[in-house]
Structure 1
Amino acid sequence: GPKRWPGGVAASDRAVALLVTAHPDDEIMFFLPAVRSLQAAGFDVSVLCLSNGGYDGLGKTREKEAVACCTEVMGLKRALVRVLDDEALQDGPASPWAAKDVGAAVQAWVAELEAGGKHRVEALVTFDDGGVSGHPNHIDTARGVRALPPRDGQTVWELLSAPVPVKFSGAIGAALALLLDSATTPAASAAPLKPGAVSLVGSVSPDMALALHRGMQAHRSQYVWFRSLYVAFSRYAFVAEMRRLA
């Protein structure tokens, strides 16, 4: 039968899973487990990054870093990666993003991806309304995606924000989570999860640790000491809880 991602959703031959992020490096800091599991299920993954992270004046550099991280580390096709620099969606905690502007940006990219019939966006993935790190741009991204009209054949998923002690429980916390999950959930069933249900994705492996390390190195302009600590301690590097919204 068709391969399925852990949410039970099968990918068609032209299936794309679109990850909507706010800033360059979100893709590697928070969504690596989701991307890896979607790829394993047969989805082509696209990343739409709504800003180039230009708050500190390094927007063009960060844009190049995001493309390198997505293509060279995460294995995405260059044509499926887009980093925006839109006046309505500028990086910064004091720059609110209207849901309609987020939605318009997502819909424009989906239309571009689907032009010509080669791709079909069958899954949308983004933050939850806690924004994982609590950054206002993350929260506005989630709200904008959530406000999009539903489409037939398209599922929508959000990355659940973990409480702070869990967030930094690293590989040990991730391994425990996977162990508990396998003890409490039946073997991957064919039935897709219903909206509201949560799927745990990811693995604790040297491959995941190496990919995270390489991905963070690709974002050289941001790779300061606290990000090195993040690489060592973050659970998001290994596992993520994805809740189906629609």
Structure 2
Amino acid sequence: MRLRKIIIIILIPVLIWLITKYVLRPPNARTLSSHFAHKRIAMIIAHPDDEAMFFGPTLHALRQLAIQTNTESPALPETNLRILCLSTGNAENLGETRSGELRASAAHFGVPPSNVIIFDDPRVQDQMGVKWPTNAIASLVEPYLTDVDVVITFDHEGVSGHGNHISLNSFAQEYLSSQGDSQREVWVLKSTSIFRKYISFFDIPCTYVSNHFFSSHEERSLVVVSDVREYASTRDAMTQAHKSQMRWFRWGWISLSRYMVVNDLHLL
């Protein structure tokens, strides 16, 4: 009887994961493979470790897309992704260490060091309650956006409410409005409630239901879900690459955060 209960406890979340990943789809959600294929993409983050803590599912999906679309050399696919990090994360004088950690983490997602650009500008330093000036962000990143088709960054709540994250969304809003008739798209990572943020893969059905019933037909969304192997790789990117950041509460994030397994991107 005890064995049966254990099996049921294990199978229920697995079934939920499989059903929501492969069966349930909101009508206005777009697949990453059909929309981002052959496009040049820039992901704008605020600090080293943002890429693993928040965007892991998206980075894995982009890596798989590179493999699928590069038939000539599937083992070493050419990546169309560029990571732009606005600071070295030097709040505790670990900027040089954390910059190296970001490059090591990016390798977990198939992004070569040459595609990781890290800025160290006095106007945009790592500070929790500070919103960076959008003109300073623009002067740094816009030269790297001239040849891209898609920009990915945080939404107006910044997932964690971090002022630096929110600044990137403010820049994205202004940047998009200045593009006129340009076909360049900006996708933002949707923030959730504190409850949903810490229910891990149980938030996958919540994400699909939210997109299905509570999004307008005009709103375009993209839901990306990691499988177990991809989740493990994102976990390794944090634990093996970002060693300077692995305090006790990071283990809680790795174990419980929905952003480790599902990303909900929305088009501005």
Tell me the TM-score normalized by structure 1.
0.82
Specify the SS of the correspondent of 1:75. Answer: coil
TM-superposed CA distance for 1:5, in Å, is 4.3
Assess, with a 3 A threshold, how the Cα gap between structure 1 residues 124 and 141 changes in structure 2: closer, same or farther.
same
CA contact (8 A) 2:128 2:164 kept: yes
Aligned twin of 1:235: 258
CA distance in 2, matches of 1:93, 1:178: 28
Matched, 1:52 2:101: no
CA contact under 8 A between 1:51 and 1:84: conserved in structure 2? Answer: yes
Q: Structure 2, unaligned stretches of length 5 or more?
A: 1-29, 67-78
Q: Aligned residue for 2:109? A: 74
Amino acid of the residue matched to residue 242 of structure 1?
A: L
Which residue of the partner structure matches residue 116 of structure 1?
none
Alignment equivalent of 1:167, drawn from 182, 197, 212: 197
Deviation at 1:102, TM superposition (A): 1.1
% identity of equivalent residues: 29
Measured against aligned partners, the alpha-carbon deviations of 1:130-183 in whole angstroms (never above 9, x if no partner) come to 000000000011111221122633211000001110000112223x2466489x
Report the Cα offset of residue 110 of structure 1: 2.5
Distance of aligned partners of 1:104 and 1:7 in 2 relative to their CA distance in 1, 3 Å threshold: farther
SS at structure 2 position matched to 1:97: coil
In structure 2, relative to structure 1, the CA distance for the partners of 1:155 and 1:5 (3 Å cut) is farther
CA distance in 2, matches of 1:10, 1:153: 13
In 2, are the aligned partners of 1:198 and 1:241 still within 8 Å (CA)? yes
Once the two structures are TM-superposed, the CA of residue 106 in structure 1 deviates from its matched residue by 1.5
Take 1:173 and 1:106, find their aligned partners in 2: how far apart are those partners?
Answer: 33
Q: Which has the larger radius of gyration?
A: 2
Choose the corresponding residue for 2:222, options 199, 214, 223.
199
1:95 deviation in Å? 3.7
Alignment counterpart, residue 40 of structure 1, candidates 64, 78, 83 = 64
Equivalent residue letter for 1:20: I
* Between structures 1 and 2, the one with greater helix share: 2
Distance (Å, rounded) in 1 between the aligned partners of 2:208 and 2:127: 38
Aligned to 1:240, what secondary structure does the other structure show? strand
The correspondence for 2:154, drawn from 101, 115, 127, is 127
Contact 1:125 1:157 in 2 (8 A): yes
Instruction: Structure 1 unaligned segments of length 5 or more: list them.
Output: 112-119, 186-193
RMSD: 2.4
Write the distance in 1 (CA, Å) between the matches of 2:193 and 2:208: 19
Could you tell me which amino acid in structure 1 is paired with residue 127 of structure 2? G
Superposition deviation, residue 47 in structure 1? 0.6
2:48 aligned partner? 24
Correspondence 1:101 to 2:136? yes
